Amino acid sequence: SGGTLLLAAAEYVERRDGARVERIAIPPGPASEVRGLFDDGRHLWLKLPARGSFVRVDGAWRKIADYGMPHNYLYAAPQGEGKVWFGGSDGLITQFDNGRVLATLKTDGLKLGALTALSADDGLLVCGEQGIAVLLAGGLRKLTAARPEVLYNVSGVVVDANGDRWLNGARGVVHVTRADWQRATAQPDQPLSYDLFDESDGYAGEAATGVRFNSALAAGGQLWFATTSGLRRLDPRKLWRGAVMPRAEIRSITAGQNYPAQAGLRLPPGTSQLRIDYTGLGAVKPEKLQFRYRLDGVDQDWQDAGARRSAYYTNLAPGAYRFHLQAVNEDGIHSKEETLTFGLEPRFVQTSWFMALLAALAAAALYLLYRYRLRVGTRRALERINLRAAERESIARDLHDTLLQSMQGVILNVKALSSRLPAGEPIHQMMERTVRQATAALVEGRDRVSELRAAEPDQRPLAAALHDIAQAQRQPAPRFALHSEGRERELHPVVRDELLLMGRECLLNAFRHAQASEVRVLLQYGERSLRLSVGDNGGGLPPAVAAARARPGHWGLPGLYERADRLHARLELDTGAAGTSWTITVPAELAYRRREAEASA
């Protein structure tokens, strides 16, 4: 360094600095060739395989083992002023600083492979069979590149006067500018920007291995590199930089057959995978053109293709696409962006019409399923209602034929006994009173039996029955109005009876408790449902009562909801300061009585 030349002979080392020549005897011992010789600025280092490794300190040779240094190091990188980095076969990197070992670094986990070189010019650079790493604040970090193999087996590193780095490796000489190197060390996860000088530039073979210093910077800035085919010289000052912008060209699309690249190209139905072929024009070295591409709707970002001239896509859906292509030459000049629009025609089963048809069929199937479930539910509910009606009639017959008839016999017997007693006897009066009470109970029992039996065809319509209930309860006020809408139809007996009882409960509440000036009833015979509404303009129910659906100590409201549930009806309550409104809705299939012909149909 600094113009000083070191030469090694069998028994001495010669240091030449201009006209000044100094000979220094090597440590005594068996004959051995010199495998390492360098000056760190303060000390002279010597490696003799048969004798060991030595460092000359204060005019005397000392074994480096005396300083705790590994004697079998493979690579050394002087850092100046007595500082040196050493690399061994075990991958350990050791720093020596003027007689002290300051740091030991491990390359485990970096996947560098075996060490191939060390460089300490402007920072530590560790080179291996499978890449390079730099020493940063957090330790050693491996650098990446678009083509990782260009950083393999770097065995020589030169830093020129501009701070640019020249790496002699397996693929040729890699040139990294100072700015790109600083950018890479600041962001080691980002790919390293570089220029590669390879066989197309006159670099034959690959970097020589087994040579400790296979790269050198000569006077005038010329670079020398040792390769497997000999020495190569490169003068950075004479590098020609082309200023011609390359041009990217999209040539064709292959999908079963080859289609020329034309804007608006439509590929046949069923196409899901394709290959897009492209090339670059206007480059001095076409083989060094690099490409990147992007397909809108598929690629989130640019895809680096290197020198490859085809892009492959699979599992593409029908639709419109736009392909973007850009080329960059060896001098880093980018082409204008080229684009190609094309489309993939859908199969019939992929068209929007087919999807709409599927949606319509699915909706129809769901509707039919709903109608089927509704019909099954209605049939079951109707069967339960008919069963209840039959049970009521059976109970009515049994009561009439047993209990009521027996009671009638008891009354007649008591009358007969009473007639034999004098009219003034107390027992006669008690028996007469008993007869009157039993007769009243019998009449009430017959009324209940009549209520249990199914309605006869000539029974009053529901509207008339509700009107009679309202008239029986009315005082001078409130006003009452009843309206019926739709064609009046015969109701199922159980439904009619349940609706009459529910309507009666609502009317009684309105007349007795609502303090209303108007009560109204609306009966609507619809095609899909029967609706009974009872409303008033009173003060409304207390919020707590409406929310609980019950008033403490009263059973009217719970009875309404229970009857509605048994009837499979919907009961709605709307209450507030403007009044209260009850609405009972019964499906038509349950509400209207069907004749045998209708049922069988």
**What digits encode the pLDDT tens for the residues 58-102?**
889 998 888 888 777 888 888 888 889 998 888 889 888 888 888
Q: At what angle do helices 352-398 and 426-452 cross, to 10 degrees?
A: 160
160 CB contacts (<8 Å, ≥6 apart)?
166, 217, 221, 223, 236
Across the chain, mean pLDDT equals: 85
Please state, in angstroms and rounded to a whole number, the distance separating the CA atoms of residues 394 and 409.
22
Q: How confident is the model at residue 430 (pLDDT cuts 50, 70, 90)?
A: confident
What mean pLDDT comes out for the span 569-585? Answer: 93
Token pair 């390879």 is found at 198
pLDDT at position 173, please?
A: 93
Token pair 């509404």 is found at 533
Choice among 223-232, 306-315, 471-480, 532-541 with the minimum mean pLDDT:
471-480
What are the angstrom distances between the C-alpha of 176 and each of 145, 151, 163?
11, 11, 9
Q: How confident is the model at residue 314 (pLDDT cuts 50, 70, 90)?
A: very high
Higher confidence at residue 459 or residue 460?
A: 460
pLDDT above 90 covers what percent of the chain?
33
pLDDT at position 574, please?
A: 93
Structure tokens at 147: 């083509």
Tell me the per-residue pLDDT of 370-396, one tens digit each, with 9 for 90 and over.
Answer: 888 877 776 776 677 677 666 766 776
Residue 1, pLDDT above cutoff 70: no
203 CB contacts (<8 Å, ≥6 apart)?
172, 173, 197, 225, 227, 232
pLDDT at position 475, please?
A: 66
What are the angstrom distances between the C-alpha of 404 and each of 126, 268, 335, 430, 433?
114, 89, 110, 22, 19
What are the angstrom distances between the C-alpha of 283 and each of 214, 327, 328, 334, 541?
32, 10, 9, 11, 91
Residue 426, pLDDT above cutoff 50: yes
Residue 597, pLDDT above cutoff 50: no
386 CB contacts (<8 Å, ≥6 apart)?
494
- Length of the chain, please? 601
